[in-house]
């Protein structure tokens, strides 16, 4: 070691006395030998400079200071004068110069490579020196450096002999310390995104030892403790930091105060790492990907991901870790869990999510109308009303419910980015899946993360999401499996033999849950000579060691699922408190039961949940069927007490399930009927019809069955399942006969049957029955008027125009009768006067119908009246009114995301444009129709698409393409029972044959002419009349062609404007 006397005489540690008489040549000779070993600077921890000839320590004040200065400033030449001013600021220049020469001489004797550049500058060869802090900064991550490595710069070194030196030293410490802090903070950030909280903690501690008031280090340390479940310690750390900041600027306190609030109030409760929650290993890269998505969402971008993998692979554990981390970044999470019964429970996840979303900040901005539709989704009416059968209304109701859901989500997202976590989507119902897919598209520019978990790889609806992030969890590597096993054992103070540990790793095949259960099994038994064959065997053995009371509690929680609050569990089992406490303690100690904390802001209650679904399944498998039915019965009793007070849809569904599995058909029927009515209320008639069918399985009372059949028939009509509605009506009619009511009643079922027969190509049959109903004095006047409207439309489509006026007179005779619906009467007047009466009267009726429905806010009816009224406007030549009505109908359908309704209105716009000669406008509407996800099982939609495609192919001069679009044969067309459809089809057939230069057969032309003559009093006949005219001309029958066209245009054509047919 070097020491200095006031006379600046120094002695080498190795006994070499400094010789001032050494010449420059002899010095250079010595340096050639010393150059081979670089000197090394240590500033972290014990400060020193090591050379090939010795060690310079801070006690040699001037010598150490000079060497330190030259090394740290070695990137550029150092002025002799500058160095003198730093080391001897108070000495005369000559004395300082002399002392510098002596100091340099002594440094060179020690092997310090200092060269002179001229007489004024000194230079240190950079390649000859290494510094410990530079090596530290050059490392890729600070975690690669030993955690016992001190990061305190030059501890205790404060040279008092020179104020400039002390000032320079402070600057160097600050710069080097900042660089080290940046590196450690970068490592902390990396470890945070990978959920490596032990490394976050160790790096934060290291940085705080160097910089106790570093804000980011304090926040990271608190975050690490919070993520391990030690919220109290995390809050204590932040409180200490806030106290240390004291009366400093208020903005210094904001991040820490915000973090403290999130930990204390917003962060979901997490048990400390123990039996309840396992160490997460091997998922760092997945957490990093999720953290990247989190940053994107905070920036206002939507992301959707699927965490997939086998049962027990750690999907829920990863999701829980991620959402807890997100909560500390200020992003709330709303979670829904799909269950095995959910495929038969439409909109299941949103029934659970909406109440939680409504409790969030921002939801107050939703309109009362939005809230009323959300109430339809989550609250069941005690006195549900069955709406009158109106074709298409349900589609708009469901669309309004979905729109209300999106409005609610939009209001919440205006306040904060959000994570929607949907677990076990392999059990999701199809309607919820469709809404999630729509939500993905809708939220493209919103800060929403749709995080899904499931066992299957993306398929079905998920495969159609183009930018889905697929996070497939693979089995753990052997090292990670070993770490997880040893962690479980260490917390119990146990150590497993190496051979059995290797066996556990091998048999678990990287499944974290299996590994934990194997470890717990060994802790319970310490048996290493017996190897369970499977995870199921391990679970069964662990369950078999439970006490009877603990097993019953486990089975009860599995039965109740999300409803397993402490209060319900206690009510179901009837166990005295101290016995229930013993069972809870036993299961918790065994790692089989968790207490899931509720969000107090949502008014929920904590509930008990089994550790894993596999554990629930294994425990329930031990129940005899009678015992399981008893538990379901008890669950039904407990939940039914709450149904009448909270009217929760979710509770009603689950209560119905329990009564069904308990075998109580009467109670199951009552609740199943309410569930079906709920589906009607939210605009899901097809699902409602199916639910009514299930309810009928539990109903034996004939009068009640008749009521349910009526509801089911209406539901089938609303979903356009016409054949099914006819079958249900027939079953109901057979039942009315058995009850002695007769089979020919004039009621709503009759109207349903009439409309269904029309839509299944039994128009003549429907017409005959409608005429009988209209003429029947025993039917109510309102019922007869409703049937009369069908009569008028059926007479038109079957081309029986001579009977239209007498039928209308009968309807008008009923107009003064009490109870007649004015809208039904207006509709009948509009139809009659459009077909053959006074057009101004038809226009007046059309205007009143539209105005009345706007007031009533019935979107399905308004849509239907707009479409029907457009026919009246078109017939009168009011094209602007017609187009306006149809475009408003399109806007309603688009606003409410009603594809079936769009498929009905768009062909009307395309045909109207073709009739006016606006080919490109018509083509635009046709292309829009083709892009729609139409229901091809609807024969009318399919015919419209094919007919329009054929019309445009003919306009393009491509008859072969036209034939591909319109594939109806001549024999099929000739026997078509609907006159209007028959003549239009024959017109297309003939036009295609003529365009292809194929000779028309006499039978085809005769059938076409006969169809035209039968239907020429109908609307929309210009195309058929024009094609027939040209066909007759092509066969040399010009006189007949002109005669028929003249009769149509001058006598029979109802429209009061000249036909314009695109060539």
Instruction: Please tell me whether residues 468 and 491 are part of one structural domain.
Output: no
Q: Which of 539, 230, 573, 272 is nearest to 582 (CA)?
A: 573
Answer yes or no: is pLDDT of 145 > 80.
no
Instruction: Please tell me whether residues 456 and 487 are part of one structural domain.
Output: no
Give the pLDDT of residue 889: 92
Any domain includes 826: no
Cα–Cα distance measured from residue 214 to residue 252, given in angstroms and rounded to the nearest whole number: 11
Instruction: Please tell me whether residues 293 and 430 are part of one structural domain.
Output: yes
Q: In Å, how far from its chain's centre is CA 163?
A: 64
Give the pLDDT of residue 376: 86
Any domain includes 179: no
Give the pLDDT of residue 672: 80
Any domain includes 946: no
Residue 552 pLDDT level (bands cut at 50, 70, 90)? very high
With a pLDDT cut of 70, the percent of the chain lying above it is: 89
CATH classification at residue 211: 1.25.40
Instruction: Please tell me whether residues 424 and 495 are part of one structural domain.
Output: no
Q: Find all residues with CB under 8 Å of 735, minimum gap 6, and list them.
A: 702, 705, 706, 709
Task: Take residue 854 and report the two structure tokens written for it.
Answer: 């706007």
Instruction: Please tell me whether residues 149 and 233 are part of one structural domain.
Output: no
What is the mean pLDDT of the segment spanning 632-645?
Answer: 84
What is the mean pLDDT of the segment spanning 649-656?
Answer: 80
Any domain includes 983: no
Domain stops at, among 529, 545, 561: 545
Q: Check: CB of residue 169 under 8 Å from CB of residue 47.
A: no
Q: pLDDT digit string (tens) for 509-532?
A: 888 988 888 888 888 777 766 666
Q: Check: CB of residue 328 under 8 Å from CB of residue 263.
A: yes
Cα–Cα distance measured from residue 676 to residue 691, given in angstroms and rounded to the nearest whole number: 5
Q: Which DSSP string do the residues of 50-90 spell out, in sequence order?
A: EETTEEE-TTSHHHHHHHHHHHHTTTS-EEHHHHHHHH-TT
Give the pLDDT of residue 15: 31
Q: Find all residues with CB under 8 Å of 619, minimum gap 6, and list them.
A: 543, 551, 554, 555, 558, 610
Cα–Cα distance measured from residue 514 to residue 534, given in angstroms and rounded to the nearest whole number: 9
Instruction: Please tell me whether residues 210 and 162 are part of one structural domain.
Output: no
Taking the CA atoms of residue 588, residue 592, residue 598 and residue 603 in that order, the dihedral angle to the nearest 10 degrees is -90
Average pLDDT, the chain: 85
CA distances 1026 to 133, 728, 1016, 1045, 1049, Å, are: 94, 44, 12, 7, 10
Q: In this structure, what are the phi and psi dihedrals at residue 48, rounded to the nearest 5 degrees?
A: -175, 165
Domain stops at, among 472, 505, 534: 472
CATH classification at residue 360: 3.40.50.300
Cα–Cα distance measured from residue 32 to residue 26, given in angstroms and rounded to the nearest whole number: 10
Give the pLDDT of residue 112: 87
Neighbours of 35 (CB within 10 A): 14
Taking the CA atoms of residue 411, residue 414, residue 417 and residue 418 in that order, the dihedral angle to the nearest 10 degrees is 0
Instruction: Please tell me whether residues 233 and 296 are part of one structural domain.
Output: no
Q: In this structure, what are the phi and psi dihedrals at residue 878, rounded to the nearest 5 degrees?
A: -90, 75
Any domain includes 937: no
Neighbours of 13 (CB within 10 A): 14
Answer yes or no: is pLDDT of 4 > 50.
no
Instruction: Please tell me whether residues 222 and 294 are part of one structural domain.
Output: no
Least confident of 111-120, 331-340, 598-607, 964-973: 598-607
Instruction: Please tell me whether residues 436 and 529 are part of one structural domain.
Output: no
Tokens 């992003």, residue located: 331
Q: In this structure, what are the phi and psi dihedrals at residue 304, rounded to the nearest 5 degrees?
A: -130, 130
Q: Is 275 exposed, middle or buried (0-12, 13-18, 19+ CB in 10 A)?
A: buried
Q: Which DSSP string do the residues of 136-168 spell out, in sequence order?
A: HHHSS-GGGS-TT----BSTT----S-HHHHHH
Give the pLDDT of residue 645: 65
Q: Check: CB of residue 528 under 8 Å from CB of residue 500.
A: yes
Residue 670 pLDDT level (bands cut at 50, 70, 90)? confident
Q: pLDDT digit string (tens) for 710-733?
A: 999 998 888 888 889 999 999 999
Instruction: Please tell me whether residues 104 and 204 are part of one structural domain.
Output: no
Any domain includes 727: no
Answer yes or no: is pLDDT of 250 > 80.
no
Any domain includes 682: no
Neighbours of 667 (CB within 10 A): 20
DSSP state of 1013: H
Residue 169 pLDDT level (bands cut at 50, 70, 90)? very high
Answer yes or no: is pLDDT of 28 > 80.
no
Between the two ends of the chain, the Cα-to-Cα distance in Å is 109
Domain limits for position 320: 284-376+397-472
Answer yes or no: is pLDDT of 581 > 70.
yes
Answer yes or no: is pLDDT of 293 > 50.
yes
Q: pLDDT digit string (tens) for 60-107?
A: 999 999 999 999 988 889 999 999 999 999 999 899 999 999 999 998
Give the pLDDT of residue 595: 82
Residue 1 pLDDT level (bands cut at 50, 70, 90)? very low
Q: pLDDT digit string (tens) for 193-224?
A: 888 888 899 889 888 888 888 889 999 999 88
Give the pLDDT of residue 936: 54
Q: Check: CB of residue 501 under 8 Å from CB of residue 537.
A: no
Instruction: Please tell me whether residues 23 and 113 are part of one structural domain.
Output: yes
Answer yes or no: is pLDDT of 14 > 50.
no
Cα–Cα distance measured from residue 785 to residue 792, given in angstroms and rounded to the nearest whole number: 11
Instruction: Please tell me whether residues 314 and 459 are part of one structural domain.
Output: yes
When computed from its CA atoms, the radius of gyration of the chain, rounded to whole angstroms, is 43
Edge to edge, what strands does the sheet with 39-42 contain?
Answer: 54-56, 48-51, 39-42, 129-131
CA distances 389 to 619, 680, 851, 859, Å, are: 48, 11, 21, 14
Give the pLDDT of residue 142: 45
Give the pLDDT of residue 294: 94
Answer yes or no: is pLDDT of 991 > 90.
yes
Cα–Cα distance measured from residue 453 to residue 425, given in angstroms and rounded to the nearest whole number: 6
Task: Take residue 537 and report the two structure tokens written for it.
Answer: 């065997």
More confident residue, 653 or 111: 111
Q: Which of 453, 446, 447 is nearest to 421 (CA)?
A: 453
Q: Check: CB of residue 227 under 8 Å from CB of residue 197.
A: yes
More confident residue, 365 or 597: 365
At residue 567, the 3 state secondary structure works out as helix
Task: Take residue 952 and report the two structure tokens written for it.
Answer: 């445009």
Q: Check: CB of residue 219 under 8 Å from CB of residue 234.
A: no
Give the pLDDT of residue 646: 62
Domain stops at, among 500, 529, 545: 545
Q: Check: CB of residue 966 under 8 Å from CB of residue 950.
A: yes
Helix, strand, coil % over all residues of the chain, rounded to 5: 65, 5, 30
Q: Find all residues with CB under 8 Å of 874, minimum gap 6, and list them.
A: 882, 912, 915, 1055
Least confident of 520-534, 750-764, 999-1013, 1040-1054: 520-534
Residue 278 pLDDT level (bands cut at 50, 70, 90)? low
CA distances 377 to 129, 318, 405, 604, Å, are: 74, 31, 9, 19
Give the pLDDT of residue 955: 92
Please name the helix (run of DSSP H) or strand (run of DSSP E) that holds residue 796, with its range, or none: helix 781-797
Cα–Cα distance measured from residue 30 to residue 111, given in angstroms and rounded to the nearest whole number: 8
At residue 999, the 3 state secondary structure works out as coil
Any domain includes 264: no
What is the mean pLDDT of the segment spanning 1016-1029?
Answer: 92
CATH classification at residue 145: 1.10.10.10
CA distances 556 to 316, 553, 559, Å, are: 22, 5, 5
Angle between helices 163-193 and 215-227 (to 10 degrees): 30
Cα–Cα distance measured from residue 833 to residue 830, given in angstroms and rounded to the nearest whole number: 5
Task: Take residue 619 and report the two structure tokens written for it.
Answer: 């425990």
Tokens 């809708």, residue located: 442
What is the number of domains present in the chain?
4
Q: Find all residues with CB under 8 Å of 29, minimum gap 6, and list them.
A: none
Q: In this structure, what are the phi and psi dihedrals at residue 421, rounded to the nearest 5 degrees?
A: -100, 115
Give the pLDDT of residue 472: 93
Give the pLDDT of residue 726: 93
Give the CB-side neighbour count of residue 781, counting CA atoms within 13 A: 14
Give the pLDDT of residue 304: 95
How many residues appear in the chain? Answer: 1063
Cα–Cα distance measured from residue 485 to residue 510, given in angstroms and rounded to the nearest whole number: 11
Cα–Cα distance measured from residue 738 to residue 702, given in angstroms and rounded to the nearest whole number: 9
pTM of the model as a whole: 0.74
């Amino acid at each position: 070691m070097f020491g200095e006397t006031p006379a600046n005489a120094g002695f080498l540690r190795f006994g070499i006395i400094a010789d001032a008489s050494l010449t420059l040549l002899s010095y250079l000779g010595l340096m050639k030998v010393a150059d081979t070993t670089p000197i090394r600077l240590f500033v972290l921890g014990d400060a020193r400079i090591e050379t090939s000839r010795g060690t310079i320590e801070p006690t040699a004040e001037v010598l150490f200071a000079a060497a330190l200065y030259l090394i740290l400033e070695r990137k550029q030449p150092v002025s002799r004068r500058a160095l003198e001013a730093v080391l001897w600021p108070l000495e005369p220049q000559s004395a300082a110069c002399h002392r510098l020469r002596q100091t340099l001489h002594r440094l060179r004797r020690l092997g310090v490579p200092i060269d002179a550049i001229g007489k004024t500058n000194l230079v240190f060869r950079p390649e000859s020196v290494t510094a410990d802090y530079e090596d530290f900064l050059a490392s890729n991550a600070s975690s690669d450096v030993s955690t016992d490595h001190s990061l305190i710069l030059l501890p205790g070194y404060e040279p008092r002999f020179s104020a400039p030196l002390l000032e320079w030293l402070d600057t160097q410490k600050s710069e080097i310390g900042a660089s080290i802090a940046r590196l450690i903070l970068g490592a902390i950030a990396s470890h945070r995104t990978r959920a490596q909280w032990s490394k976050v903690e160790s790096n934060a501690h290291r940085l705080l030892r160097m910089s106790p008031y570093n804000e980011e280090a304090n926040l990271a340390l608190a975050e690490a403790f919070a993520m391990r479940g030690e919220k109290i310690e995390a809050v204590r750390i932040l409180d200490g930091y806030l106290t240390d900041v004291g009366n400093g600027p208020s903005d210094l306190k904001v991040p820490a105060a915000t973090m403290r609030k999130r930990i204390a109030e917003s962060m979901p409760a997490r048990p400390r790492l123990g039996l309840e929650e396992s160490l997460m290993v091997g998922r760092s890269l997945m957490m990093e990907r999720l953290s990247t998505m989190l940053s994107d969402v905070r920036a206002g971008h939507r992301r959707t991901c699927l965490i997939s993998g086998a049962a027990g692979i750690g999907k829920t554990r990863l999701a829980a870790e991620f959402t807890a981390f997100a909560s500390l970044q200020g992003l709330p999470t709303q979670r829904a869990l799909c269950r095995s019964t959910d495929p038969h429970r439409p909109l299941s996840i949103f029934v659970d999510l909406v109440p939680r979303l409504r409790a969030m900040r921002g939801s107050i901005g939703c309109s009362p109308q939005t809230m009323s539709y959300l109430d339809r989704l989550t609250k069941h009416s005690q006195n549900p009303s069955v709406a009158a059968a109106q074709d298409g209304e349900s589609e708009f109701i469901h669309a309004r419910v979905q729109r209300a859901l999106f409005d609610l989500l939009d209001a919440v997202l205006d306040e904060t980015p959000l994570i929607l976590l949907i677990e076990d989507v392999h059990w999701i119902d199809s309607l919820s899946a469709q809404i999630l897919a729509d939500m993905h598209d809708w939220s493209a520019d919103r800060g929403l993360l749709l995080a899904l978990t499931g066992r299957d790889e993306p398929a079905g609806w998920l495969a159609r999401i183009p930018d889905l992030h697929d996070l497939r969890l693979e089995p753990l590597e052997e090292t990670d499996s070993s770490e997880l096993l040893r962690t479980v054992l260490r917390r119990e103070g146990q150590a497993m033999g190496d051979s059995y540990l290797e066996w556990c790793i091998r048999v678990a095949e990287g499944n974290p849950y299996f590994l934990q259960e194997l470890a717990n099994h060994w802790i319970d038994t310490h048996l290493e000579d017996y190897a369970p064959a499977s995870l199921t065997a391990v679970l069964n053995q662990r369950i078999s060691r439970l006490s009877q009371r603990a097993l019953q509690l486990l089975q009860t929680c599995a039965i109740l699922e999300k409803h397993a609050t402490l209060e319900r569990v206690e009510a179901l089992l009837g166990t005295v408190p101290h016995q229930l406490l013993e069972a809870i303690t036993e299961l918790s100690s065994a790692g089989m039961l968790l207490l899931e904390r509720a969000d107090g802001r949502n008014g929920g209650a904590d509930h008990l949940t089994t550790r894993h679904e596999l554990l629930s399944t294994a425990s329930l498998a031990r129940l005899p069927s009678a015992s399981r039915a008893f538990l379901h019965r008890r669950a039904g009793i407990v939940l039914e007490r709450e149904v009448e007070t909270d009217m929760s849809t979710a509770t009603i569904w689950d209560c119905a399930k329990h009564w069904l599995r308990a075998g109580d058909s009467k109670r199951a029927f009552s609740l199943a009927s309410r569930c079906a009515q709920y589906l009607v209320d939210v605009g899901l008639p097809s699902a409602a019809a199916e639910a009514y069918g299930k309810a009928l399985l539990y109903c034996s009372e004939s009068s009640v069955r008749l009521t349910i059949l009526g509801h089911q028939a209406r539901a089938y009509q609303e979903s356009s399942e016409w054949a099914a509605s006819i079958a249900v009506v027939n079953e109901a009619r057979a039942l009315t006969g058995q009850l002695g009511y007769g089979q020919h009643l004039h009621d709503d079922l009759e109207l349903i049957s009439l409309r269904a027969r029309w839509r299944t190509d039994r128009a003549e049959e429907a017409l005959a029955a409608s005429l009988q109903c209209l003429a029947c004095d025993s039917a109510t006047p309102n019922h007869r008027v409703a049937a009369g409207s069908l009569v008028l439309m059926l007479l038109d489509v079957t081309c029986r125009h001579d009977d239209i006026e007498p039928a209308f007179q009968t309807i008008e005779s009923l107009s003064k009768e009490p109870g007649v619906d004015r809208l039904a009467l207006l509709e009948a007047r509009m139809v009659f006067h459009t077909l053959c009466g006074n057009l101004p009267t038809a226009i007046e009726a059309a205007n009143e119908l539209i105005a009345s429905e706007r007031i009533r806010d019935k979107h399905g009816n308004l849509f239907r009246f707009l479409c029907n009224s457009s026919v009246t406007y078109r017939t009168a030549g009011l094209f602007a009114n017609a187009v306006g009505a149809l475009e408003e109908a399109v806007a309603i359908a688009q606003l409410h995301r009603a594809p079936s309704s769009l498929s009905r209105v768009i062909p009307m716009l395309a045909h109207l444009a073709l009739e006016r000669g606006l080919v490109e406008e018509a083509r635009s509407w046709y292309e829009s129709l083709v892009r729609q996800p139409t229901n091809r099982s609807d024969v009318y939609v399919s015919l419209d698409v094919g007919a329009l495609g054929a019309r445009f192919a003919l306009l393009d001069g491509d008859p072969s393409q036209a034939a591909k679009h319109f594939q109806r044969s001549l024999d099929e067309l000739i026997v078509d029972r609907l006159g209007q459809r028959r003549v239009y089809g024959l017109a297309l057939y003939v036009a295609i044959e003529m365009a292809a230069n194929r000779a028309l057969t006499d039978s085809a032309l005769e059938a076409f002419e006969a169809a035209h003559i039968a239907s020429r009093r109908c609307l929309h006949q210009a195309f058929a009349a024009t094609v027939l005219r040209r066909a007759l001309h092509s066969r040399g029958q010009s006189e007949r062609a002109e005669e028929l066209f003249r009769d149509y245009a001058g006598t029979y054509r109802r429209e009061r404007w000249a036909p314009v047919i695109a060539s």
